[in-house]
């Protein structure tokens, strides 16, 4: 699948799960800002598995530093669509986010937000084309502004960050399993698993059906589960009917007592 397909699938996966799972299992409702920022983080994380090839589009999202990181990741993963396209990578990505959040707190969170925003911008092609300074400079500027906004309006250390990173990676792998090449889900086992609905990357089914459908679904689910309930005023709990007061009699001075 193409980068914008992965990013869209990550945002959709987060909006669907973040608005249903916490209320059902933990009796906790995420704030709208958490759902929005989490969707952006998950969209960026949905491109992380493709950092296993230094010539991929997302490998150049921040210029030479990200290209060097992609070479290292590709070497460790054994090549493209191998280690980073497995359940093991999903677990490692989530664990790394959890460990970093525990050790370094808010600075780590903002660093992850910046990187995931940059990845999402590259995947959604919200930047000038090409791998040059003009492209990744624009990405760095936009991601920096976005991170500054998050730093102002998202206080503390969100506990959902590791889940958003892991879910994004999982959404990427699920999307690639829809192609004929599949993914080695249980790497280092080389056996690949696939449900080939997309016969070739970037075909009409992907670009004209899946991506528009996922985009509409993301907005619709967010509206129904997060925006619309906020505008509904909570109803006051019913009050029990009170018994009428008992009649009282008073005796004034001078009145005969009967």
How do residues 180-234 score in pLDDT, each as one tens digit?
889 999 999 999 999 988 776 767 777 888 888 999 999 999 999 888 775 544 4
Residue 237 lies in a domain: no
Q: Which residues pair with 198 in a beta bridge?
A: 179
Q: Residue-wise over 95-114: b if at least 16 C-beta within 10 A, else e? A: eebbebbeeeeeebbeebbb
Question: So what's the pLDDT on residue 125?
Answer: 87
The answer to whether residue 82 is domain-embedded is yes
Q: How many angstroms separate the CA atoms of 11 and 236, rounded?
A: 35
Q: Which residue has the tokens 């070479």?
A: 71
Q: Give residue-wise pLDDT tens across range 135-160.
A: 889 999 999 999 999 999 998 899 99
- How many CA atoms are closer than 13 Å to the CA of 62, on its beta-carbon side? 18
Q: What is the pLDDT of residue 85?
A: 96
Q: Residue 257 pLDDT > 50, yes or no?
A: no
In this predicted model, what pLDDT tens digit does every residue of 209-221 receive, in sequence order? 888 899 999 999 9
Position 249 in a domain: no
What the block records as the tokens of 10 is 């990550």
Structure tokens belonging to residue 215 = 């985009």
pLDDT band at 241 (very low <50, low <70, confident <90, very high): low
121: its two tokens: 């911008």
DSSP letter (8 states) at residue 42: H
Question: What are the residue ranges of helices labelled H in the chain?
Answer: 3-18, 21, 32-45, 64-77, 87-123, 133-153, 161-176, 204, 211-222, 228-230
Whether 56 maps to a domain, the answer reads: yes
Res 215: pLDDT: 92
Q: Is residue 15 part of a domain?
A: yes
Give, in degrees to the nearest 5, the angle at Cα 43 between 42 and 46.
85
Is 161 contained in some domain?
yes
163 — pLDDT class (breaks 50, 70, 90): very high
pTM for this predicted structure: 0.85
Q: Judge whether 225 lies within some domain.
A: yes
Distance CA 74, CA 48 (A): 11
Report the distance separating Cα 148 and Cα 186, nearest Å.
38
Return d(Cα 70, Cα 59) in angstroms, integer: 6
CA angle (34 as vertex; 60, 157 as ends), nearest 5 = 80
pLDDT for residue 2 = 82
Q: Give the dihedral of Cα atoms 132, 135, 141, 142; nearest 10 deg.
A: -160
User: Which stretch, 78-82, 226-230, 243-247, has highest mean pLDDT?
Assistant: 78-82
pLDDT computed for residue 180 by the predictor: 87
CA-to-CA distance for 123 and 100, rounded, in angstroms? 25
Domain that holds residue 18: 3-230
pLDDT of residue 233: 47
Separation of alpha carbons 56 and 111, rounded Å: 22
pLDDT, residue 1, reads 78
Give the total number of structural domains in the chain. Answer: 1
Q: If we measure between CA atoms, which residue out of 173, 117, 176 comes closest to residue 148? A: 117
Q: What pLDDT, on a 0 to 100 scale, did the predictor assign at position 258?
A: 46
In a domain, 251, yes or no: no
């Amino acid at each position: 699948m193409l980068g914008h397909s992965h990013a869209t699938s990550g945002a959709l996966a987060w909006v669907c799960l973040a608005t249903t799972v916490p209320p059902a299992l933990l009796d906790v409702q995420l704030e709208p800002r958490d759902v929005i920022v989490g969707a952006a983080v998950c969209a960026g994380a949905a491109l992380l598995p493709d950092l296993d090839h230094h010539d991929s589009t997302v490998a150049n999202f921040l210029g030479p530093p990200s290209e060097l990181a992609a070479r290292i990741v590709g070497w460790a993963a054994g090549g493209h669509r191998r280690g980073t396209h497995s359940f093991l990578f999903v677990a490692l990505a989530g664990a790394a986010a959890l460990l970093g959040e525990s050790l370094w707190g808010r600075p780590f969170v903002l660093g992850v937000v910046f990187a995931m925003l940059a990845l999402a911008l590259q995947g959604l092609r919200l930047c000038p084309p090409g791998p040059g300074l003009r492209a990744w400079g624009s990405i760095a500027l936009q991601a920096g502004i976005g991170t500054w906004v998050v730093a102002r309006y998202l206080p503390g250390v969100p506990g959902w960050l590791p889940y958003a990173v892991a879910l994004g990676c999982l959404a990427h792998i699920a999307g690639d399993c829809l192609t004929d090449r599949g993914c080695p889900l249980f790497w280092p086992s080389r056996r690949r698993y696939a449900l080939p609905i997309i016969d070739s990357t970037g075909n009409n089914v992907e670009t004209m059906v899946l991506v528009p459908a996922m985009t509409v679904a993301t907005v619709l689910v967010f509206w129904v589960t997060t925006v619309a309930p906020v505008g509904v005023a909570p109803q006051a709990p019913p009050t029990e009917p009170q018994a009428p007061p008992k009649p009282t009699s008073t005796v004034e001075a001078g009145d005969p007592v009967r």
